[in-house]
Amino acid sequence: MSEVSNSRTALRICPLCEATCGLVLTVEGSRVTGARGDREDVFSQGFVCPKGAAFGQLDGDPDRLRAPLVRRDGELREATWEEAFAAVAEGMAPVLERHGGEAVGVVLGNPTVHTMAGALYPRLLLGALGTRNLFTASTVDQMPKHVSCGLLYGDPDAIPVPDLDRTDHLLIVGANPLESNGSLCTAPDFPGRLKALRRRGGTLTVIDPRRTRTAALADRHVAVRPGTDALLLAAMAHVLFEEDLVDTGGLAPHLDGLDRLPEALREFTPEAVAAVCDVEPAVVRTLARELAAAPSAAVYGRVGSCTVPHGTLASWLVDVLAVLTGNLDRPGGLMFPQAATARAPRPAGPGRGFTLGRRHSRVARHPEAKGELPLAALAEEIDTPTDEGEPIRALVVSAANPVLSAPDGERLDRALASLDFMVSVDPYLNETSRHAHVVLPPPPPAQSPHHDFAFNSLAVRNQVRYTRPAVPLEPGRMAESEIFARLVLAVSGAPGADPATVDATVVSRTLGHAVQDPHSPVHGRDPQELAAQLTGADGCERRLDLMLRLGPYGDGFGARPDGLRLSELLDHPHGIDLGPLRPRLPEVLRTRSGRIELLPEPIAGDLPRLRQALGHRFDEMLLVGRRHLRSNNSWMHNLPALTGGSNRCTLQVHPEDAALHGIADGQTVRVKGAGGEVTAPAELTDAVRRGVVSLPHGWGHDRPGTRTRHASADPGANVNQLLDGTLLDPLSGTAVLNGFPVTLSPAG
């Protein structure tokens, strides 16, 4: 296949962001020496970004851990896998025996949704530990969207995505897909798809306090004041009612509460929100009219609309605007993807609905959302005793670096150091994993299989792809699925047991349920006979085969002979296209009413807080984040190929604000917030609006005991140190990471 001798090519879906591009890797021995876009990939068709192109360097980073580490006499030393799992069993047992499962927390970070192991094992781990103390990156990210969709549709994972390739009008609220490549909207070559929208005569509007690369591409850019989108969107909805522009089209029979919306939104007139949002009333009316007038339109909100004080309300309003203009569940609007490994569709009808606050965090009494507690509350759940129950004394952390990605890393840093026991599943020794007693390093991505369980449910086109490891596991390496299976066994007190039993148990339990389900294609069949039909090289592959076969396009174990199964995917290494998104209402609805609940009680109960915000006066500077194309959260600053140039931790300041504060370009600035202060060099630019400064997250690599040499050489500042962890969107428990007040002063 390849012209270079001793080298070969292998396919690998890129796990580095949500775009899920297909890559062609060049491999020499076990080393990846090159990566390019796979032109034959059914979804990405050859697209690749600088991070994907650097796959080889990322895979081969010499700072990646090659063997497990176990803490002995205070120091982390290399150990065998057997020693490491024995140390886990030994460290966890006393905590579980003395204090019970609830004394253990599980922390899952962003790459969890980018690995197969992350999709298949965490639930089992929580079950084995007997804990409900789950903290994930969702509560520093998209939890508001889960909550609003849970309330609207009854299923927190039923998140509609903009039908990018067919829409006539796209309204983007707080997202910058030209740098992020998209999120909660899986679309390889998002930039190209936006350009195609404009080419076919469609329009793009971007609401963002910064003139981002995405905003620069738009027909209209509204530089809103950060943290005020819920007011702006509420005023748009108000205009739709006031000007009689509401037309829900075919959605009418599926709606509940439409008649109560005008009253709920009455006070949010364009005139009332103008001063707070710093957007002219005429602009708000234009935004609403354009949305209503477009033949089809999609509204898309992301990080800038979620990690703010009214994140759930803003996320709710994004979908409400789609409903009011008849743009939900129709081509060109917001649509619900159908992934191949999702549960097969059920007959429409009332469901169990979505409930918030079934339990509360111990210290600040934050309500759970989707079974999770706020990541911002992790430190206090460890370091603050109460009468309410046990503090967290042990943690399992996988794919997370909350010391940098969550508020008040210094406090969390101290809290982690105080734990009785901590395990990290992480390829790096970084700001968080340096506290672990045992570090279990997963293999680099080229040695791991890949399927996007999560992102195919958010993709702008239905498709399915699977890639086996591009390179065999190096000696001494362990697959991440096996690491997790063994972790489950180790915390269950059976560190030596066969990890295959973990997957076999899941398979037999899943099939046991399926054969009893009258809607399942395998209803009434023998689970053992079905299990024997599964194919796959290991437990992970057999579970993929199982999910595919029971899924919406599956072969139903023979019920639909031409349906999907693992062998079909292996026969189609560039993927299988399953067609454009299709309308799915009312089958997706799982609310108690069986309809879209437009004004659910928790939302109505939070509107008074939004009304109060109408009176807010801003006299402080507000800080927002930003992402860089050649970076990803906290873990890609260790690669020379992806750092330097414009990818630096600078504080962007508008020149007029700089003049007011006596700050010169390049000068070090002291930034103070509720949780602490940091310094960063100023970068004067009118790309940020006045009254707003921008500092990226994921920096602050200056702590001792880490092993990320390149990152430590240019550490940058941890923006999240400016936060004290008390500012949250109350419905979702999501930290406010954007639009919080800071003060600036020149330093040095």
Interacting residues with Mo ion (CB under 5 A): 141
491 binds ligand SF4 (CB under 6 A): no
Closest distance of CB 59 from ligand SF4, Å: 12
Q: Which three-class secondary structure state does DSSP give residue 184?
A: coil
631 binds ligand MGD (CB under 6 A): yes
DSSP letters, 7-56, are: EEEEEEE--SSTT--EEEEEEETTEEEEEEE-TT-TTTTT---HHHHTHH
Q: Closest residue to ligand SF4, Cβ-based?
A: 52
DSSP structural state of residue 242: H
Site string for ligand SF4, 177-206 (x = CB under 6 A): ----x------x------------------
Cβ distance to ligand SF4 smaller for residue 21 or 613: 21
If contact means CB under 5 to 8 A according to the sort of partner, which of Mo ion, ligand MGD, ligand SF4, none does residue 14 touch? ligand SF4
Closest distance of CB 71 from ligand MGD, Å: 18
Instruction: Give the span between the Cα atoms of 736 and 624, in whole angstroms.
Output: 10
Q: Closest residue to ligand MGD, Cβ-based?
A: 304
718 binds ligand MGD (CB under 6 A): no
175 binds ligand SF4 (CB under 6 A): no
Closest distance of CB 296 from ligand MGD, Å: 22
52 binds ligand SF4 (CB under 6 A): yes
Instruction: Give the span between the Cα atoms of 198 and 1, in whole angstroms.
Output: 38
Neighbours of 518 (CB within 10 A): 6
Among 17, 87, 306, 446, binds ligand SF4 (CB under 6 A): 17
Instruction: Give the span between the Cα atoms of 208 and 173, in whole angstroms.
Output: 7
CB 32 within 8 A of CB 471: yes
Neighbours of 10 (CB within 10 A): 18
If contact means CB under 5 to 8 A according to the sort of partner, which of ligand SF4, Mo ion, ligand MGD, none does residue 116 touch? none
Closest distance of CB 506 from ligand MGD, Å: 20
Cβ distance to ligand MGD smaller for residue 175 or 649: 175
CB 220 within 8 A of CB 230: no
CB 22 within 8 A of CB 465: yes
Angle, helices 229-242 vs 270-277, to 10°: value is 160
627 binds ligand MGD (CB under 6 A): yes
684 binds ligand SF4 (CB under 6 A): no
Taking CB under 6 A as the binding criterion, the range among 19-27, 269-277, 306-314, 700-708 that sits at the site for ligand SF4 is 19-27
If contact means CB under 5 to 8 A according to the sort of partner, which of Mo ion, ligand SF4, ligand MGD, none does residue 19 touch? ligand SF4
Site string for ligand MGD, 52-91 (x = CB under 6 A): ----------------------------------------
337 binds ligand MGD (CB under 6 A): no
If contact means CB under 5 to 8 A according to the sort of partner, which of ligand MGD, ligand SF4, Mo ion, none does residue 48 touch? ligand SF4
CB 396 within 8 A of CB 104: yes
197: left (phi over 0), alpha (psi -120 to 50) or beta: alpha
Instruction: Give the span between the Cα atoms of 114 and 691, in whole angstroms.
Output: 36
122 binds ligand MGD (CB under 6 A): no
Residue type at 507?
Answer: V
Closest distance of CB 685 from ligand MGD, Å: 12
425 binds ligand MGD (CB under 6 A): yes
CB 596 within 8 A of CB 603: no
CB 601 within 8 A of CB 593: no
Among 10, 49, 406, 642, binds ligand SF4 (CB under 6 A): 49
If contact means CB under 5 to 8 A according to the sort of partner, which of Mo ion, ligand SF4, ligand MGD, none does residue 736 touch? none
Reference 435, options 449, 450, 446, 419; nearest CA is 419
Taking CB under 6 A as the binding criterion, the range among 77-85, 120-128, 161-169, 221-229 that sits at the site for ligand MGD is 221-229
248 binds ligand SF4 (CB under 6 A): no
Closest distance of CB 16 from ligand SF4, Å: 4
470 binds ligand SF4 (CB under 6 A): no
Angle, helices 270-277 vs 281-293, to 10°: value is 110
22 binds ligand SF4 (CB under 6 A): no
Closest distance of CB 393 from Mo ion, Å: 28
Neighbours of 260 (CB within 10 A): 12
Among 133, 205, 341, 430, binds ligand MGD (CB under 6 A): 430
Among 91, 209, 554, 716, binds ligand MGD (CB under 6 A): 209
Q: Long-range contacts: 615-619, Cβ < 8 Å, 24+?
A: 616/276, 618/225, 618/276, 618/691
Instruction: Give the span between the Cα atoms of 442 and 734, in whole angstroms.
Output: 28
3-state secondary structure 134-166: EEEHHHHCCHHHHHHHHHHHCCCCCCCEECCCC
650 binds ligand MGD (CB under 6 A): no
Instruction: Give the span between the Cα atoms of 203 and 185, in whole angstroms.
Output: 18
Closest distance of CB 14 from ligand SF4, Å: 3
115 binds ligand SF4 (CB under 6 A): no
Residues 122-151 touching ligand SF4, rule: CB under 6 A, are none
719 binds ligand MGD (CB under 6 A): yes
Alpha helical stretches, state H, 492-571:
500-516, 527-533, 539-550, 566-571
Taking CB under 6 A as the binding criterion, the range among 82-90, 226-234, 339-347, 540-548 that sits at the site for ligand MGD is 226-234
Strand partners, 173: 207, 301
Spell out the residues 6+ positions from residue 496 whose beta carbon is closer than 8 angstroms to its own. 489
Look-up of token digits 């007959």: 347
Taking CB under 6 A as the binding criterion, the range among 21-29, 399-407, 557-565, 642-650 that sits at the site for ligand MGD is 399-407
Dmax (CA) for the chain in angstroms is 76
Among 145, 450, 590, 697, binds ligand MGD (CB under 6 A): 697
17 binds ligand MGD (CB under 6 A): yes
How do beta strands 651-653 and 692-694 pair?
Answer: antiparallel
CB 156 within 8 A of CB 731: no
Closest distance of CB 631 from ligand SF4, Å: 10
If contact means CB under 5 to 8 A according to the sort of partner, which of ligand MGD, Mo ion, ligand SF4, none does residue 340 touch? none
Spell out the residues 6+ positions from residue 632 whose beta carbon is closer than 8 angstroms to its own. 16, 17, 51, 698
Closest distance of CB 77 from ligand SF4, Å: 34
CA distances from 513 to 298, 350, 480 (A): 38, 21, 27
If contact means CB under 5 to 8 A according to the sort of partner, which of ligand SF4, Mo ion, ligand MGD, none does residue 296 touch? none
Closest distance of CB 402 from ligand MGD, Å: 5
Taking CB under 6 A as the binding criterion, the range among 18-26, 278-286, 561-569, 590-598 that sits at the site for ligand SF4 is 18-26
Q: Which residues bind ligand SF4 (CB under 6 A)?
A: 14, 16-17, 19-21, 48-49, 51-52, 181, 188
Q: Which residues bind ligand MGD (CB under 6 A)?
A: 17-18, 109-111, 115, 137, 140-141, 173-177, 179-181, 183, 207-210, 212, 224, 226-227, 229, 302-305, 308, 398-402, 404-405, 425-428, 430, 442, 480, 624-629, 631-635, 697-698, 719-720, 737-739
